[in-house]
């Protein structure tokens, strides 16, 4: 299989999407909601915290160019996997750290990378690993949000620093050269 996708929850999907759109080998990033109980929830419903959904990004990638392990290592560097149901000022179960796999091999790789991250974080990682369930695409205005709105307050003060941290940390191996 040359192309696959993994679904990741690392806080606000605008931040996670903005980083993965910079990664060489990533072919598409889509913001959405997963692993809740309400079919096709709206952003407002998810933000209310009652649907059980997580704000996620579906990261499609060419595994001939980037391995799932690398995708997941980036994930653990761009958010805080040790805070339960929060990333910075974003608080609620919809901002939980999660890896949502599609098959047994993805689950195996995710468990391996999670164990390494947990060791590096002295056993404090709270990232859940579950089979992908009840995924739906977020509204159009959420797609490519940072790229379309870099001057918006949240983008300028929260998303941009995460993108810059990623660029500094992974510059040699993961940023698109185009």
The active-site residue, picked from 12, 15, 47, 155, is 12
* Rounded Cα–Cα distance for residues 12 and 129 (Å): 18
* Rounded Cα–Cα distance for residues 166 and 168 (Å): 5
DSSP 53: -
Which segments within the chain are labelled E, that is strand?
Answer: 3-10, 26-34, 54-62, 86-87, 90-91, 97-101, 128-131, 136-137
Phi-psi region of 52 (alpha: psi -120 to 50; beta: other; left: phi over 0): left
Q: Which fold has domain 3-174?
A: 3.30.1060
Over residues 40-62, the mean pLDDT reads 96
Is pLDDT above 60 for 174? no
Active-site residue flag, 12: yes
Question: What are the distances in angstroms from CA 41 to CA 50, 120, 128?
Answer: 10, 36, 21
115-162 tens-digit pLDDT = 999 999 999 999 999 999 999 999 999 999 999 999 999 999 999 998
The answer to whether the CB of 59 falls within 8 A of the CB of 26 is: yes
65-107 tens-digit pLDDT = 999 999 999 999 999 999 999 998 899 999 999 999 999 999 9
100-112 tens-digit pLDDT = 999 999 999 999 9
The answer to whether the CB of 24 falls within 8 A of the CB of 175 is: yes
Is pLDDT above 80 for 5? yes
The answer to whether the CB of 54 falls within 8 A of the CB of 108 is: no
Is pLDDT above 50 for 39? yes
Over residues 32-46, the mean pLDDT reads 96
Confidence bin at 178 (pLDDT 50/70/90): very low
Helix, strand or coil for residue 88?
A: coil
Domain range summary for the chain, segments of one domain joined by +: 3-174
């Amino acid at each position: 299989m040359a192309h696959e996708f993994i679904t990741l929850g690392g806080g606000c999907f605008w931040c996670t999407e903005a980083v993965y759109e910079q990664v060489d080998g990533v072919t598409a990033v889509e913001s959405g909601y997963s692993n809740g109980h309400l079919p096709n929830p709206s952003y407002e419903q998810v933000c209310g915290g009652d649907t059980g959904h997580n704000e996620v990004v579906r990261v499609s990638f060419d595994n001939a160019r980037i391995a799932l392990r690398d995708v997941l290592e980036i994930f653990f560097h761009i958010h805080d996997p040790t805070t339960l149901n929060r990333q910075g000022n974003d608080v609620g179960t919809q901002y939980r750290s999660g890896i949502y796999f599609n098959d047994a091999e993805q689950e195996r790789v995710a468990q391996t990378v999670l164990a390494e991250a947990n060791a590096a974080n002295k056993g404090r990682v709270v990232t859940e690993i579950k089979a992908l369930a009840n995924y739906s695409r977020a509204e159009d205005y959420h797609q490519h949000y940072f790229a379309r709105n870099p001057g918006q307050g949240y983008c300028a003060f929260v998303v941009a620093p995460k993108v810059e941290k990623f660029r500094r940390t992974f510059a040699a191996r993961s940023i698109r050269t185009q």
